[in-house]
Structure 1
Amino acid sequence: MQNAAIQVKGLQKSYKQLHILKGVDFEVDQGSIFALLGSNGAGKTTIVKILTTLLKQDGGTASVNGFDVASSPDNVRQAISLTGQFSAVDEILTGRENLIMIAKLRYLKNPRQVADHMLKRFSLTDAADRRASTYSGGMRRRLDIALSLVGSPRVIFLDEPTTGLDPESRIEVWKIIKELADGGTTILLTTQYLEEAEQLADKIAILHEGKIIANGSLAELKKRLPSTKVEYVEKQPTLEEIFLAIVGKKEGA
C-alpha cells in the first residue's frame, strides 16, 4: 500500500518461554493518528521497540517510511522519533539547553534558533532558562515532545504519552498531537486510556494476548457491538469536565 507510513505483517517476539507477539498485522496511513490499545503486558511497548529499531523481532516483517526495520535500521532512525513512557529530558539542563543539545546531535544548522522556535511553539519561552527539574509534569512532557520533534521526523512514536499527567496537561498534550497530525506527521501512540484513543485516533487497534483482535475507526469498532435498547437520560458532566470548568473560571476571575 503506497500511502502506508508503517506496515507490520506477522510480527512475532518471545522472551525466553513467554510468547509476547503471536503474529501482529496492521498498517498506518501517512499523516494519521493510530492508537494501539492494550492492557499492561499486552506487548504494546515491544511493538514500539521493534518499529523504532531498539529490538529485533523473531518473525514477520515491519517497515517504517518505506524502510525495513531489520535490514535498513539507519534509514528508519533518520525518519522517526520516539517519546517513551518516561521523560528523556535532562533535568540538570535548562529547557533551552536540552533543545540545543538535540539540535546539535541531529547536525542541524542554527541550533539556538531551532531551540527558540520549539520553545515558542510549545509555550515554554518563559521557562526556557530554568532547569528542567523545576518544570511541572505537563511542562516536562511538552519539552519531551518538543525534543522529539527537532529535525521534523516523518513518523513519531508516543508510548503512553499522558501517563501520570493531570487532566489539564493531558488535554494540552492531546492538542499538540492533533496539530502534528494536521501538519502531515504520522503518529503511532500506545495508551491504556480509552478516552485518549477516542479523542485522537483515526484508527484504533486492540492488542490482546499477542494478537490484534480489532482494528478500524471508532465508528467501525462501534458497529461490532450488539445493538442496544435506546434510553433517553439526562447527560451528567464528567468529573474531568467539572474540574476544567472550575479551574477555567478561577483563572479568568
Structure 2
Amino acid sequence: MTGAVDMSGVLLAGTLFAAYWLLMLPRRPLHAAGAPARHPVASPRLVLPKRQRTTDPHEIPLFIHQLTGLLQAGRAPSQLWGDMLSVHGGSSGFPAAIKPALLPAHQAAQLGLSVPEVLREAGSQTRDPALRSLWRDLAACLEVAERSGASLAAVLSRYAAQRDAQLDSDAARGTALAGPRATVRLLSWLPLFGLGVGYLLGVDPVAVLLGSAPGIATLCAGAVLMVIGRFWSSRLVRAAAGDSA
C-alpha cells in the first residue's frame, strides 16, 4: 500500500511539474481567428528576399542620421537614395535588408515618381516589423516636407531624435524590469525547491500531502495558487513592459 501511494505521488508530482513547465514556456501572439489575410500587391520593382531576419533596432536611427547628414551636406532629395545605395552596398545584414526598398526608391526619384508611395509599398511587403515601421515613417516624413515646405533634413533629424529617445526608454525599462522578472522566476521555482528540501531533511512531502484529506486539499490549493501567482506576476511584468496582455 505504501509503495502504491509513493508511486502515485511521484506520478502526480511529475504531472504537476510538466504542467507547470508548459505554463512557463514563452507565448507567441496568435492572429485573430477569421481575420482576412493580407496579400501584398505585386510589383515588378520590389524583389524581397525569401528569408528576412529581424533588424537590430539600433540600425534604424543610424540610417536616419545618415540620411540627415547627406541632406545637410547639400545633397538633393532626388540624389539621396542613390547615395544610400552606394553607402549600403553590402550583400548581408542590414544593407541587404534595406536594398529592396532603396533600389525602387532611387529609380522613382530619378523618374520623378512618388518616392513615399514606393517606401510605403516596401513597408507593406516586408516581414520585418522594424523595417515596416521605418519605411512607413520615412514616407510620412517625405510627405510632410513636400506638403508643408519644411526642410526634409529638419524633419528627419527630429524623427531620428525620437527614435533615439525610444531606444533609450526601452533600454531603461528593460533594466528596471530585470529584477522583477528574476524574482518571478525564483518565486515560481520555490515550491519545487521546498519539496527537495523536505526530502533532504528526511521527510516525505509527497506522502504527507497524499496521506490524508487535509494534505490533498493543501496540495490542490498550493498548485492552484502557484499557477495563479505565476500568471498574475507575468501579467504585471508584461503590463509594466508595455506589451499587450
- Report the TM-score when normalising by structure 1: 0.25
* Higher fraction of strand: 1
Structure with larger RCO (C-alpha < 8 A, sep 6+): 1
* Higher fraction of helix: 2
